[in-house]
Amino acid sequence: MKDFNYYAPTQVVFGASSEEQTGKLVKQYGGSKVLLHYGGKSAERSGLLSKIASLLEAEGIACIKLGGVVPNPRLSLVHKGIELCRQEGIDFILAVGGGSVIDSAKAIAYGVPYEGDVWDIYTEAYEPQCALPVAAVLTIPAAGSEMSDSSVITNEDGDIKIGYSNNLCRCKFAVMNPERTYTLPAYQTACGAVDIMMHTMERYFSQDDDMTLTDELAEGLLRTVKNSVFEVLKNPTDYRHRTQIMWAGSLAHNDLTGCGTTGDFATHMLEHELSAMFDVAHGAGLAALWCSWARYVYKENISRFARFAVNVMGVANDFTSPEHTALEGIAAMERFYQAIGMPVSISELIGREVTEQEIDEMVDKCSHRDTITIGNFKHLDSTDMKAVYTMAK
């Protein structure tokens, strides 16, 4: 097991009606004037937004609302939020929604104290020294942003999607009520499950083979989500299985399932270009790419893929041919994606064939014009990236 530094400072308040504690929590963490950041109409229709505002008011905390966050959150709204926070003297940002809302809130938090363009932070032209405090009331389990150090923003100028990680913007607290996920559409539920599993799989597929406990944690999380998503797709108000998925989303991306490993994240990087270009759901994009990535790289460590096949996907171990076991595991994952309504190719994802020109543009952006490689399980250069996109087309 490799040396590691594990840091997970977010206070988690989990369970039915947990949002009732939101006002007291904001006050506990020093908020006196809050930006209530959210996505579309669902937060308003459900009554959650007005409920949170009332809870803040009961604690003597003023709030200003800013909605409009969309999947693949946009830089333009981040700019708007920064200006609003400065004008109103906001000292705390509360995200009500899923990963896109939390990511947008984090970007605003970085940008308020910075005199330049917040995009400088995402391109790593500037390293932030401070940020406004951020917290979350989670309604969509998927991205894990409520406990991670990560934020991903899309710049509409050029359709560029970039992630940035810094402990400054880890949420102070995360309120998680699984009941708030009952009304999620089946497609969004499935996309979330894919993203949750992928956050752990990106850490699991490592060349480090000596992290027994971390592997066991990862495999248990993956099996749990895989089994639970079928249950909630059959019965959306299945509280027990909704809780498993919601908690797994946080654990999958708070680095617990990556302690002692060297993560890969190549599929995530490839998918960022896919969702930036076609504005598709992140989880669906991951499903469209992963099996092609896996078939391209599995020979770098066949035993790891064979272990995944047996311990996660339930494939019978062919002791005479670890390679056969590994390939059966990838095929089993492909069938799982199809069973929960996820695409397993780019054409299925976008509804048409992707062009060579579009693939070349994604490769150009992902490789930073052929100046970087991505991934650690196998370091992918621009030629490898094109091969994966082409296999997935």
Domain boundaries, the chain: 11-180, 186-392
At the top level of CATH, which class does the domain 186-392 belong to? Answer: mainly alpha
DSSP per-residue letters across 114-147: -SS-THHHHTTSS--S----EEEEE-S-SS-TTT
One fold for 11-180 and 186-392: no
The confidence score (pLDDT) of residue 209 equals 77
Through-space distance between the first and last CA atoms of the chain, rounded to whole angstroms: 37
pLDDT digits (tens, 9 = 90+) for 341-369: 999 999 999 999 999 999 999 999 999 99
What is the band of 225 on the pLDDT scale with cuts at 50, 70, 90? Answer: very high
Which backbone phi and psi does 40 adopt, to 5 degrees?
Answer: -100, -150
Using DSSP, state whether 13 is helix, strand or coil.
strand
CB neighbour list of residue 311: distance below 8 Å, 6 or more residues apart? 219, 223
Instruction: Could you list the beta-strand ranges (E) of 139-296.
Output: 150-155, 160-165, 173-176
Evaluate whether 175 touches 136 at the Cβ level (below 8 Å).
yes
Tell me which of 3.40.50.720, 3.40.50.450, 3.20.20.80, 3.40.50.1970 is the CATH number of domain 11-180.
Answer: 3.40.50.1970
Q: Residue range 208-221: average pLDDT?
A: 92
What is the band of 45 on the pLDDT scale with cuts at 50, 70, 90? Answer: confident
pLDDT digits (tens, 9 = 90+) for 325-344: 999 999 999 999 999 999 99
Q: Residue range 138-152: average pLDDT?
A: 96
Q: Give the chain's length.
A: 393
Tokens of 47: 């009554």
DSSP state of 170: S
Evaluate whether 366 touches 388 at the Cβ level (below 8 Å).
no
pTM given for the model = 0.94
